[in-house]
Each structure stands twice: as structure tokens, then as C-alpha cells.
Amino acid sequence: MQSSLRIVWIYPDLLSTYGDQGNVLVLEQRARRRGIPVEVVHVRSSDPVPEQGDIYLIGGGEDRPQILGAERLRRDGGLHRAIQRGASLLAVCAGYQIMGSVFGGEEGQPVPGIGLLDISSGRGERRSVGELAAEVDPSLGLPTLTGFENHMGVTRLGPGVTPLSRTLVGTGNGDGTEGCFAGKIIGTYLHGPALARNPALADLLLRWAAGPLPAMDDSWYERLRNERLGAVLKP
Amino acid sequence: MSQLPLRAQLASALGRTAATLSRATGRGDGSVIGGRVGLLLEPDLLRKLAHEKKLALVSATNGKTTTTRLIASALQELGEVATNAFGANMPAGHVSALSSNKAAPYGVLEVDEKYLPEVLDTTEAGVVVLMNLSRDQMDRAAEIWLLAQKWRRALAGRPAHVIANCDDPLVTWGASTAARVTWVAGGQRWHEDSWCCPECGGPLDRAEGIVNADWACRECTFSRPEPNWILDGEDAIDPYGHRWRLDLQLPGTANRSNAVVALATAAAFGLEPQRALPRLREVKSVAGRYTTVERDGRVMKLLLAKNPAGWLEAFDVTRPDRPIVLSVNAQGPDGRDTSWLWDVDYRILAGRHVYVTGERRLDLALRLDVAGVGFILVDDFSQAVSALPPGDIDVIANYTAFQSIRTEFGRAV
Ligand SMILES: [Zn+2]
């Protein structure tokens, strides 16, 4: 591991509509509490994406910023090079769709994505808004996923990715699964502070970048998780 | 006597009865239920009621209730004003407001951002006031870029005189299709939704500062229009360059900005600042916002903040030496999604005595923990109050949390 962990937040000026900053803050806090020095880089859409980051984050946004974000990422190429170098990526909501081959624009028209995940997205019939709970793929060894979704997307997973989870409550990809992963790339519809509600997912990203982590006091995280899961998984 | 046709008069009278019942049964301010009954009976009621008045519509993400109140207070200098003083800002509330004072020659209506095109179309209001657009409870509010685009379409080709805040790029874009615009440099504290050009998506270059700070797109010609009115510290500067010391009772930069917008709007009705300003100074609180309540020697200032930009404005009027109680709910009117908490920079509260409550206090607790802000978690508002020593206390709450605190003090106004 290099001297400090570099967290790169891609295009907060375009794609940070749903409290996406939360994911950056949670990663930063959980690394620092383990004594890992952290450098956070905010990359505006007018600037190049640096290739030397360890963890990349991209968030949600409206249709037009999503299309602009996809165009700029493709033109820039920095994120592709970072992933080839072995960096990890958490892509949320609009940012998740951008990682695929195609997504739906303002009028539902197909817009090309940047092809980092083997998925394709389109516009569904109605908006999915609400709490989501899902069981994570056993190979990742993570507890139940909890979060909030707010999107009209429907995402088809290709053979090159694995579903991140199977939904218990909520819509996710639209076929009973939520999100996906491939290598060190994770995509999810759970927007905003997905990592605040799922600290084990945050730690997975940190371990990919920094190796084994000591335990930390998770009591506020756990209390919030228990309350939210309790609220949606009522017997 | 009113010029309304008989059927509309009947509808409006029935609406008033329902509103009285709603107030009498303690179920609300009565403003929405009255309007709903009226609209059911007469869909064109709003159109008919509006056409009898000189009307201003007021819309924004934040500050629309307060600014509506300020404009209505100012216009009272000219005559009676019908207004939706309780923030019932959709067509049912508008019917209720206008029918409660049919004889009034003036009307000032707070309008939900999404409903503005529809309400403008129905009422054909002569004046439209647009102040700011920023992310709001996203599970229920419209996306703001889309919203600004709808404003553009609604204003194009209409005679309405628009009063708009040119320090907000998205509002500027939304207003700039109007035939006539008075631009107000009213400030923008929250910049996170306007780093990109609404016209072309290119980067906006922005000068430092919250008020009267220039901006321009790096890639196209979209740039800040020259302001006609300017908020400059404690003063408003009018289009003739005259300075007016505001001296409001309402606290904070956001309210000084609201007041300059109100002065510009009053001027559009032909009312000069020397007559409007004393009226603005009389306003102390607005539907419980900024009001002070007392219990057992604890003197509490109540602040409403519903979204990240609103929290920044609320922090601006709190005092670092006072303890602060924060209360957050996530019921329908609040938005059921609490992710916006992560857009608020709470680090400004570090070192203060912070009490956390509300139905979603655990969301806020984790948010503060990650921000490195110490706090005490309490079950409810009363517990926070009794845990604090007598003295001044700041209280910030989001919508339903605010209403429930307000109810504890007899719906404080
Ligand atoms: Zn531009």
C-alpha cells in the first residue's frame, strides 16, 4: 500500500444529487479511524480524472447531467485507465447506469454508457421510490444490504457481472436482483449514503485498496442499520 | 359585492365552512381543506378568483413563505391583500386564500415550484417572483434542472413581470425567457447545485462571495445579468443607486435577501421603498419560523430547515455560544429519504452543545458522528429542553418535526 489512500470523487458538480457525498465521508472516516491516512480528491467535470486513485466514487443525478457525465468520462478515459491499474469503484444510481453499455435518456432514448460493467439499462414504466433491503451474494460475505432507491431505471445484467444482491424489499435492477459487481467494481441503485447504511460494504472497498482492517466501533452504524432493517422487514 | 358567478360563490362559501371546521377541530390551519372542497365544486374557481385581483406569485425552494409574507405586508400599504399565509402553496390553498378575502384588490400567493406553470396559466398573474432553486426532498420534489426548464416554457410569450434572483444561475436561466425581468442580486449561499451551466452544461466560473458575486459560463454566452436591485450587507440598493438600511426584525442574510426581493416586487406594483420598508420591519416571525418560545426559563428560537440550503441559512442565524437542539423526521412532507443529511456540512456545530431528536434521530446521529461533532441523543424535544439549563437555546427542525414542536407551544406563530 502507498503512503496514503486516495479516494477520488468523480463529478460532484454533475452527479451528487442524493447525498452522494455521504459515501466519500464514510470511507474517509472508516479509513482514518483505522489509522490509514486519506487523501480525498474531488474531480469536477471540467477536469481530467486522475489515474492514480485507489477508490473511485460516482453518484446519482438528473437525466441531463447523467448524459453529460457519460460523455465526459468517455472522452477523458482516466477512469478506464485507473480501473485497468486495479483501482476499485463504487457507482451509484445514474453513475451505475453510466458504467454499462447503454442507458435511457430524458425521453427514454438510448444513450451510450462507458462500458466498464456488462450491463444495459433503460427506462422503466414507473419510478421506484422507497426503502430497499436485499441479501448480498454469499461470495462477498456481507450482511443484508439496506438503503433507499429513487429511480426509473431497469438494468439487465450480462454474463460478465454477478448480481450484488437479491431483493427482499424494493425494486433494484427490476428482476429481483439489486446492483452488480465485477472485479473491484460495484454498482448499486442505493443512492446517497449507501455506505453509511452498509459499513461492511465500505470496508470491502477499503480492504480491496488497503488490505486487512482492524475492527472499529460501529455502534452508531449498527443502531441505524437495525432500525432501518426493522422498519422494512417487519414480520 | 363579488363579481363571481353564483356557482363559484357557493363553492367558495362551502370551502370557507370546511376551513373553519378544520381549524375548530384542531386538524390544521384550515387552508388546504377549504380549498379542496372549493376546487371540487368549481374547477375554474381559481381562475375566476384570480382575475379580480392584481396578483403576485412567489416561488423558490427556500424562503417562499417568508417572502410571500413580506410582499403581502408591503402591499397592505396600497390596499387589502389576500394571501396564503400558512404556506398551503398548491392550487387548493390558493383558492382558499383568494376566497377568504374576495374584496381585496391585491393577492400574493406562495406557489410550489412544480405548480408554478399551472398556476401561472390559470391565474395569469401580472408579477412572478423567483428566488432560488436547490435540491429538496428528492423522493417528492421534482429535479431542479427540469423544473427550471418548465419555468422557462411557462414564462415564454407571457406579459408577466418577473422579479428574479440573478445570483442563482438556475433561477436566472429559468426566468430569462420572460418578456420583462427585474434582476435582484439576492445572494446564494448554497452553490452545490450550480457549478454547471444550465444552458450548455459547461463549467460556470464563479466569483468568491455569497451575495452579488458574478458568474459566467466558460463555454457559452450565458452569464449573470446586471442586477437592478442589490443586497449590500445591511442595505438594499435600488435601481437609482439609493441605499436603504433594512433594519429587519427577521434575522440573517437570507431574510435580508427576501426583503430586497420584496422591495423590488413592491416597486413593480408602484410602491416605493420608503413606504414598503416600514411594513417589512414589522414582520417578526412567519408561521412559527424565527419565533421565540419559552418554557421554564428556556428561551428557544425556532428555525425551520427542510433541505441542505435551508440548513446553511439556519446555521447563519444561530449563535455559537448557545446550545442547539436538532430534530429530524421523514414523514411524507419531509421526504421519506434522509440522504440529504449527508449534503449538509455539520462541522460548523463542532464544540457546541448539540441535542439530537426526531423520528430519524439515528440517521442524524450517525451523520454527526462521521462529521466529528459531539452530541447527546434524546427521545424527544421535551427531554432535550429539560436536560438543558435555563437560558437561550437554538432549535432547528425539518418540516413535520418543526410543526410538532410548534404544536407543543400552542401552534406558535
Ligand atoms: Zn454554457
Q: What is the pLDDT of residues A146-183, one digit of tens each?
A: 999 999 999 999 999 999 999 999 999 999 999 999 99
Domain match, B297 and B251 both: no
Query: Could you identify the residue written with the cell 412572478?
Result: B128
Count how many domains chain B has: 2
Does residue A130 surpass a pLDDT of 60?
yes
Give distance in angstroms: CA of A12 to centre of ligand 1. Answer: 18
Helices (H), chain A: 21-32, 63-76, 78-84, 94-98, 194-197, 199-210, 219-232
In-domain check, residue B263: yes
Interface residue of B197, B206, B339 to substitute, partner A, most A CBs within 10 Å = B339
Instruction: Tell me how far apart the terminal alpha carbons of chain A are, to the nearest angstrom.
Output: 45
Domain match, B395 and B249 both: no
pTM listed for this prediction: 0.89
Domain match, B335 and B269 both: no
Q: Specify the amino acid at residue B38.
A: G
Query: Could you identify the residue written with the cell 374547477?
Result: B43
Domain match, B134 and B58 both: yes
Domain match, B303 and B168 both: no
Q: Specify the amino acid at residue A185.
A: I
Domain match, B271 and B349 both: no
| Binding-face residues of A in 31-50 toward B, CB within 8 A | 44-46
In-domain check, residue B304: yes
Q: Is B196 annotated as a binding residue?
A: no
Angle at A94 between CA B136 and CA A178, to 5 degrees: 105
Domain at B300, CATH number: 3.90.190.20
Domain match, B237 and B179 both: yes
Domain that residue B314 falls in: 292-408
Mean pLDDT of chain A: 95
Domain boundary residue, one of B248, B281, B314: B281
A191 is catalytic: yes
In-domain check, residue B109: yes
Instruction: Tell me how far apart the terminal alpha carbons of chain B are, to the nearest angstrom.
Output: 32
Angle at B79 between CA B78 and CA B83, to 5 degrees: 110
pLDDT single digits (tens) B243-256: 999 999 999 999 99
Domain boundary residue, one of B238, B262, B281: B281
Domain at B55, CATH number: 3.40.1190.10
In-domain check, residue B135: yes
Domain boundary residue, one of B224, B251, B281: B281
In-domain check, residue B12: yes
Domain match, B365 and B276 both: no
Domain match, B235 and B334 both: no
Q: Where are the beta strands (DSSP E) in B251-407?
A: 292-295, 298-304, 324-327, 354-357, 376-377, 391-397
Locate B117 and state its grid cell: 406553470
Q: What is the pLDDT of residue B14?
A: 52
Query: Could you identify the residue written with the cell 441605499?
Result: B243
Distance CA A184, CA A90 (A): 9
Domain match, B265 and B299 both: no
In-domain check, residue B353: yes
Domain match, B164 and B217 both: yes
Q: What is the pLDDT of residue B172?
A: 98
Locate B99 and state its grid cell: 376566497
Using 50, 70 and 90 to split pLDDT, how confident is the model at A191?
A: confident
A93 is catalytic: yes
Q: Which of B121, B139, B337, B345 is catalytic?
A: B337
Locate A129 and state its grid cell: 421510490
Give distance in angstroms: CA of A69 to centre of ligand 1. Answer: 15
Domain match, B105 and B42 both: yes
Q: Three-class SS of residue A212?
A: coil
pLDDT single digits (tens) B46-93: 999 999 899 999 999 999 999 999 999 999 999 999 999 777 899 989
ipTM of the complex, rounded to two decimals: 0.97
Domains, chain A: 5-232 (3.40.50.880)
pLDDT single digits (tens) A13-41: 999 888 999 999 999 999 999 999 999 99
pLDDT single digits (tens) B293-317: 999 999 999 999 999 999 999 999 9
- In sequence order, the β-bridge partners of residue A19 are none
What does DSSP say about strands B229-232 and B235-237: parallel, antiparallel, or unpaired?
antiparallel
Q: In what order do the strands lie in the sheet with B376-377?
A: B292-295, B298-304, B391-397, B324-327, B354-357, B376-377
In-domain check, residue B232: yes
In-domain check, residue B239: yes
